[in-house]
Amino acid sequence: MPELPEVEATRLSFAHRIAGARLLSVRMGKSLRWPLGCAAASLTGRTVLSVRRRGKYLLIDLDRGLLLLHLGMSGSLIFSQQLPEPGKHDHFEMVTTRGTLRLNDPRRFGAVVYAASEEAPIARKLLARLGMEPLSEDFSIELFHAGLKRRKAAIKQVLLAGDVVVGVGNIYASEALFLAGIRPTVSAARLSRPRVSRLHAAIRDVLARALAGGGSTLRNFSSASGEKGHFQLEAMVYAREGQPCRVCGKAIRSLRQGQRSTFYCPVCQKA
DNA sequence: AAAAGCCCCTGGATGC
DNA sequence: TGCATCCAGGGGCTTT
């Protein structure tokens, strides 16, 4: 479900409200991807300092230690002072003086992991491999090009891998490549400088627009405050196999790359 | 070092 | 209605 815009929209929707809250109780239900890594009860009494994002991870800074939270494929957060009884897919809950943060995740690919610090082994393992933040100043055409040059794999898969640039998931990878006019199967290393430049701009453009729309994507998304995405961003190619390209009219095609579906226009993305 | 596969899990849509 | 199959916006881990 969540790519960078959705994760960031989620963060923005509750970070300011939870900052300063003191933890009253923490409950970890049916196991997520990994165990919490500490006794839930031991977190009681700690204070939330801030909520940051790195890639698709949310980092909940406490006055001692931090929580790494990932929404996986089907996770969503809600932060509210009044919540109904937990449902069968509510696997993590943190009651605080400002409200309750609850993670709902039917598929349980998500995770909540405690780390004593960002330098702790578990935090390093999860965060160290992450590539550049696409919406940050650091994400330059030069560094992007340098990162792609040492990857011979298909550009779509390199984008998804997240070790060159983070946050570009399956939908936005297809969309960005369409905007840049690049065939998803071409080797990342073989992209010319001008094409890398176009892709760089396309990634920023599509992510920023989705974020501006409140994390709007094709399906339902709502932030931790219950705000729905605005759906202002319509897919050019994603999930549009057989439908006419919005630019040239040719039928959109799909293919499988690494067990994920990819969509592209055979005319607008010639190579 | 990089690439390719596998796997975790549940639910919704589709087909018979 | 029931059952089987396929697919889903992620990513860590193991094997080539």
Residue A24 inside a domain? The answer is yes
A8 and A123 assigned to the same domain = yes
Tokens of A18: 């939870």
Q: Indicate the average pLDDT of chain A.
A: 94
pLDDT at residue A241 in the model: 96
Residues A44-90 have pLDDT tens digits of: 999 999 999 999 999 999 999 999 999 999 999 999 999 999 999 99
Average pLDDT over residues A166-179: 97
Residues A155 and A259 both lie in one domain: yes
Is residue A166 located within the same domain as residue A58?
Answer: no
Q: What are phi and psi of A118, to 5 degrees?
A: -70, -15
Within 7 Å of a protein beta carbon, the nucleotides of strand B are: 1-11
Active site residue A209: no
Q: Is the pLDDT of residue A221 over 90?
A: no
A56 labelled catalytic: yes
CATH code, domain with A180: 1.10.8.50
CA dist A172 and A150 (Å) reads: 22
- CA at A2, C1' at C10: how many angstroms apart? 9
How confident is the model at residue A29, as a pLDDT?
86
Note whether residue A59 is domain-resident. Answer: yes
Residue A259, in any domain of the structure? yes
DSSP states of A176-202: HHHHHT--TTSBGGG--HHHHHHHHHH
Are A106 and A180 within one domain?
A: no
Q: Answer yes or no: A2 catalytic.
A: yes
Considering the domain architecture, whether residues A58 and A115 belong to the same structural domain is answered as yes
Quote the crossing angle between the two packed helices A141-149 and A193-212, to the nearest 10°: 120
Whether residues A111 and A192 fall in one domain: no
Q: For residues A219 and A122, which has the higher predicted lDDT (pLDDT)? A: A122
Do A72 and A109 belong to one domain? yes
Q: Are A90 and A158 contained in the same domain? A: no
Confirm whether any atom of chain C, the nucleic acid strand, is less than 7 Å from CB of A56. yes
More confident call, A223 vs A47? A47
Say whether the CB atom of A89 is under 7 angstroms from strand B: yes
Residues A123 and A228 placed together within one structural domain of the fold: no
Residue A219: which pLDDT band, with cuts at 50, 70 and 90? low
pLDDT, one tens digit per residue, over A140-157 is: 999 999 999 999 999 999
Query: Is there a single domain that holds both residue A117 and residue A227?
Result: no
Residues A109-141: tens digit of each pLDDT: 999 999 999 999 999 999 999 999 999 999 999
Q: Which of A3, A6, A8, A175 is catalytic?
A: A3
Q: Which of A11, A17, A53, A56 is catalytic?
A: A56
pTM of structure: 0.96
| pLDDT reading at A1 higher than 70 | no
Residues (91-130, chain A) with CB within 7 Å of strand B atoms: 106-109
Structural domain including A54 reads 4-127
- Nucleic chain C contacts, protein chain A, residues 57-116, CB cut-off 7 A: 70, 72-73, 107, 109
CATH of the domain at A22: 3.20.190.10
Helix (H, G, I), strand (E, B) or coil at A60: strand
CB A215 within 8 A of CB A221: yes
How many domains does chain A contain in total? 2
Residues 232-271 of A with CB under 7 A from strand B: 258-259
In a domain, A49, yes or no: yes
Residue A234: the pLDDT is 85
Is residue A121 located within the same domain as residue A10? yes
**Is the shortest CB-to-strand distance from A223 to strand C under 7 Å?**
no
Flag whether pLDDT at A231 surpasses 70.
no
